[in-house]
Amino acid sequence: MLENNPVLDAIRSRRSIRKYTGEPIAEPVRRAILEAGFYAPSAMNRRPFHFVSITDRELMQKLSDLHPYAKMLPQADWAIIVCGDESVSGPFYMDDCAAATQNILLAAHSLGVGAVWCGVDHTERQQPFGELLGLPEHIKAYSLIVLGMPAEEKETLDRVEPDKIHENRW
């Protein structure tokens, strides 16, 4: 049950990939990755997430110029901006968008696509992202996910820290 469990294996082996081959991601794979975001848990099932799928090279360059940690974006094949509708769930949109972002990352990894999560929400990038993407006032960019066929492999690390596990009380 614990050995060779595909979900646990994907969680343990997923790593941020920032180097890409330039090979295109097939449309059915893109669709499956986007659909995974919709299966994320959501506070009170309000599902405030929206996804902006980006393939336009000029727009990818502009987003890279806006985000200091997304310099790899012009070499990637695709990007997804995970957005939340603040009018639907108030501040809980951030939790819901985090869950959707993680689903997208795990789906990409399971399908052999490299990806990296670049944060947007509550940074100085929020307004410029909104303007560049034409987001309505109540829609907030939460994360920028950069995706491409991986040109690097990263080893699985043991990240378990037993001293951070507390039983019943701190």
- Per-residue pLDDT reduced to its tens digit, 121-170: 777 778 899 999 999 999 999 999 999 999 999 988 889 999 999 999 99
Instruction: Write out the DSSP string of 146-162.
Output: EEE-BS----------G
Q: Would you state the pLDDT for residue 14?
A: 94
Q: What is the pLDDT of residue 116?
A: 98
CB atoms within 10 A of CB 87: 12
Long-range contacts of 150-156 (CB under 8 A, 24+ apart): 150/17, 150/19, 150/20, 150/21, 150/112, 150/113, 150/114, 151/19, 151/20, 151/21, 151/114, 152/17, 152/18, 152/19, 152/114, 154/15, 154/16, 154/17, 156/12, 156/13, 156/15
Q: Where are the alpha helices (DSSP H) in 25-156?
A: 27-38, 57-66, 86-89, 93-110, 126-133
Confidence band for 109, pLDDT divided at 50, 70 and 90: very high
Question: What's residue 91's pLDDT?
Answer: 86
* Predicted confidence (pLDDT) at residue 1 exceeds the cutoff of 80: no
DSSP structure class, residue 68: T
Q: Is the dihedral of CA 55, 57, 62, 65 positive or negative?
A: positive
**Domains, the chain:** 26-151 (3.40.109.10)
The SS3 call for residue 115 is strand
pTM: 0.94
Residue range 31-90, pLDDT digits in tens: 999 999 999 999 999 999 999 999 999 999 999 999 999 999 999 999 999 999 999 988
How far, in Å, CA of 101 to CA of 82, rounded?
7
